[in-house]
Structure 1
Amino acid sequence: MIRNVIVAMSGGVDSAMTALLLKNKDVRLLQAQDSNKDQTFFLSQIPQQTLRRCMFPLGNYLKNHVKVMAMQAGLCQIARKKESMGICFVGKREFQDFISEYIADKPGNYIDLDSGLQIGKHDGIHKRTIGQRCKIAGALKPYYVFNKDQESNTITVVGGTTHSALYTDFLITRKIHWISEEPCELRWNNGVLNCNFRFQHRHPLIACRVYKMSNDRLFIRLDAPLRAITKGQYAVLYSGEECLGSSMITYAGPSYFALGRNCTDYIRWHNLIASNKV
């Protein structure tokens, strides 16, 4: 396993010899021991040749263990340093204020999906993301972004964070980048790959079935609906602790609202998983 190889390399094994052993063999990217610090989601597009030259000496350690090691090594100031949160180059500003420095505001309308009525004004679709809560003056309930239409400059919203329009269990991606080789299940005619899916860092993994379409695109069917899957995000696939690779999402839907389906039980179950209560 790549993590074992990397730990061996960092533990004193000659790197040139290790590189020679790996020269004609694909290596795999495994999740870190500390799930809160795992970076495989962001490394899911790493080329095989680059991965072979990488070392992750902290892959087998929890963050608190690393801090203890730092203290023992006399690096007390570093061990006590607070972790950086958010996007470092944005700083303490609101993200909407930051993005307005680069993209001019363009006011438009908020449209309620259920009634079809205009219920407010926004100052630019670039300031809102799918699933985000909107501040709409005079609204009697919280509204969340369902869709953004660049041509009409409108944002369609739904009432309530668990509105079924925000949930789907279907998505299509571009041709995927496999970190190692393509799983053998997809090489067969009409093959199906059973694995796990994530589209946001640190979100719980969801079981899914993956089908290969024309032009090597992927059709992914989730075992449970997820909220606010958005075109342009990345579908990252896992098998056990291995990160298989990822691909950009080109289509998400139809929503449970469009299909007339209820997702209340799924939402309750997903929330329990996310809170580690099951």
Structure 2
Amino acid sequence: MPDWLHILIRAFSALAALFVLTRILGKKQISELTFFQYVTGITLGDLAGDLSTNVEKNFFHGFLALMVWFLIPFLLEMLTLKSKMLRYWFEGKGTVLIKDGRILEDNLKKERFTGDELLEQLRSKSVFRVSDVEFAMLEPSGDLSILLKKEHQPLTANHLGIQLNNEKPSQTAIMDGVIQDEPLAAAGKSRGWLLCELEKLGMTKENVFLAQVDAYGELSVDLYDDKLKVPKPVQRRILLATLKKCEADLEIFALTTRQADAKLMYGKCAEELQQHLLKLTPILKSK
């Protein structure tokens, strides 16, 4: 057998084996690695490369070594799922670097982390003052987890006492100019509705690269021609304006009517609608 054909077969076999073994080891092998996963990944890659090109070595011996480096990490991973002590040994544990806005220099030296590296990690999280940080921990993966002090945390709807419904994922109605029936049905829409919405925007599905329907039934599109401007959805703002007009009309009816019962009814309806508007306004103005 020619050497080039021999290498081709060995390379394909090694690649297939490495792909299967990595899939079995799980997504951790392609995420931020711990020390043990880092060593395992490098060794598996090196063994696969040597197995592919070194025609002088026995293929079975190389494959056997590859299986050993797969089975040991796989078995250890199964054991670490049941033992916290083993997880500490093989994966390490987090180290607190900042507490109450103060840097813990001893822990910094323990992890061989310089002040410049710490500041760089903070900047990557959009934090530019150490005193703004309540707590920061260096994870076993090498990532820095940060908790800002309350006064420096982003303002949320919960802080304002506003209750919001859970956001549902958008469904892709058109991809590469082709209508996607299954996601469209999941959004509770039909092809007729989609074509009607596109007609309102003055375009055909062939001109659309991507179209998505959000949880509120609004259609957003991205065209092949980036120079063309697409009108923004206005259904929510129209609905908000209509509700505000209804509230104003009810208040006018309450002021102008002479019947006491009708005045009370209109006033009560206006108050209820105003309460609902307080909850709905952040949702209807979100775009």
TM-score (norm 2): 0.24
More helix by share: 2
More strand by share: 1
Q: Which has the larger radius of gyration?
A: 2
TM-score (norm 1): 0.24
Which structure's relative contact order is higher, taking Cα pairs within 8 Å and 6+ residues apart? Answer: 1
